[in-house]
């Protein structure tokens, strides 16, 4: 039986509906949460990501600020921009779109963001709070994966979970969130021995290696839940023929467009798994939804005293 499809767009819409109520309550207190997005240069993929984030803020009625310095900007000049955003009271969340140009010290920039406005959850203080089990603002993609699992009623407590990838942005925070939810977690990476055998023991598999269709059916136990974090563009016809060998409609679409978006999980895994996220339309929408959620949360935390005063008046 084909796997149950975990529809990220539907879950995103649930979250947006809930956020709308929170945003209305803040508005009644005279507060409009604001998100500043810093996009350095003209990276096409980054421009698409930022425009999607800005569109979401506008849909929800949040204030959005798009800062677009040139690709030639220096670390010190970008630090000055971040410091100005830190001081502004109308901005609750700051995100600096990665990757940054090579001349910029990205870690220095991310560490300069006020932790109370760090809606990407990358600041060492926020990472440390997550490690300690006292999370404040958490990385959006892992947070979105947890929403998918919980809202899809996937059993996390007591489950064996395999996280493929150990990045600071996805793999490490993902493992911590699963551990705090009482899963038994194995973090896999490029040096893991017997990788398919290790992953096959998992009830929940989170694929975030950044390798196109790497996770094939032999990695997956029958009935396991598979969350595909990968977003990879395929343009090679031979690779597309291999990946979509059993999906004539997707192969025809590839031939018509000359490209296709594929995750880290091979499409044939859907015939083995019990539940799976699609690419696109799975984790991606939740990453942006969690950015919106973090912005609203940051506004509530930063302005708590004023919200309480407005409620009493």
Cα gap 156→160, rounded to integer Å: 8
Note if 13 is an active site residue.
Answer: no
Catalytic residue, from 53, 172, 203, 264: name it. Answer: 53
pLDDT tens digit sequence for 81-133 = 999 999 999 999 999 999 999 999 999 999 999 999 999 999 999 999 999 99
Q: Which helix (H) or strand (E) holds 205?
A: strand 204-207
**pLDDT at residue 307 tops 70:** no
pLDDT tens digit sequence for 39-83 = 999 888 888 889 999 999 999 999 999 999 999 999 999 999 999
CA distance to 11, 75, 184, 273, 283, per residue, from 146 (Å): 11, 34, 15, 18, 10
Q: Furthest-apart CA pair in the chain: how many Å?
A: 67
Catalytic residue, from 92, 114, 120, 228: name it. Answer: 120
pLDDT tens digit sequence for 192-243 = 999 999 999 999 999 999 999 999 999 999 999 999 999 999 999 999 999 9
H helix runs in 103-170, sequence order: 106-112, 124-131, 140-151
Report CA Rg, the chain: 20
Confidence of residue 278 (pLDDT cuts 50, 70, 90): very high
Cα gap 203→158, rounded to integer Å: 10
Cα gap 305→124, rounded to integer Å: 26
Catalytic residue, from 92, 97, 172, 228: name it. Answer: 97
Note if 120 is an active site residue.
Answer: yes
Confidence at residue 303, expressed as pLDDT on a 0 to 100 scale: 81
Domains belonging to the chain, first-starting first, are 31-135 (3.40.50.10860), 140-284 (3.40.50.720)
Confidence of residue 311 (pLDDT cuts 50, 70, 90): very low
Confidence at residue 306, expressed as pLDDT on a 0 to 100 scale: 57
**pLDDT at residue 310 tops 90:** no
Note if 239 is an active site residue.
Answer: no
Distinct helix (H) and strand (E) counts, the chain: 12, 11
């Amino acid at each position: 039986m084909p796997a149950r499809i975990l529809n990220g767009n539907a879950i995103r819409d649930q979250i947006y509906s809930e956020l709308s109520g929170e945003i209305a309550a803040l508005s009644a207190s005279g507060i409009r949460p604001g998100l500043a997005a810093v996009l350095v240069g003209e990276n096409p993929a980054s421009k698409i990501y930022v425009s999607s984030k800005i569109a979401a803020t506008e849909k929800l009625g949040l204030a959005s600020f798009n800062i677009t310095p040139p690709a030639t900007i220096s670390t010190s000049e970008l630090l000055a921009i971040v410091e100005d955003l830190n001081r502004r009271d109308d901005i609750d969340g700051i995100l600096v779109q990665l990757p940054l140009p090579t001349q910029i010290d990205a870690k220095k920039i991310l560490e300069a963001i006020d932790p109370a406005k760090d809606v990407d959850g990358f600041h060492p203080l926020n990472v440390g709070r997550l490690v300690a089990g006292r999370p404040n603002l958490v990385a959006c993609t892992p947070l979105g994966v947890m929403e998918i699992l919980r809202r899809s009623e996937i059993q996390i407590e007591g489950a064996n979970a395999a996280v493929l990838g150990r990045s600071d942005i996805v793999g490490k925070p993902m493992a911590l969130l699963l551990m705090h939810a009482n899963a038994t977690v194995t973090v896999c990476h490029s040096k893991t021995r017997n990788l398919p055998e290790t992953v096959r023991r998992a009830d929940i598999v989170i694929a975030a290696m950044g390798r196109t269709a790497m996770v094939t059916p032999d990695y997956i136990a029958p009935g396991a839940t598979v969350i595909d974090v990968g977003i990879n563009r395929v343009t090679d016809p031979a690779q597309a023929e291999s990946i979509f060998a059993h999906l004539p409609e997707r192969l025809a679409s590839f031939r018509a467009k000359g490209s296709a978006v594929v995750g880290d999980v091979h499409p044939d895994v859907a015939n083995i798994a019990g539940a799976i996220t699609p690419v696109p339309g799975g984790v991606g929408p939740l990453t942006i939804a969690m950015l919106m959620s973090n912005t609203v949360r940051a506004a509530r935390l930063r302005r708590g005293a004023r919200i309480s005063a407005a409620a009493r008046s």
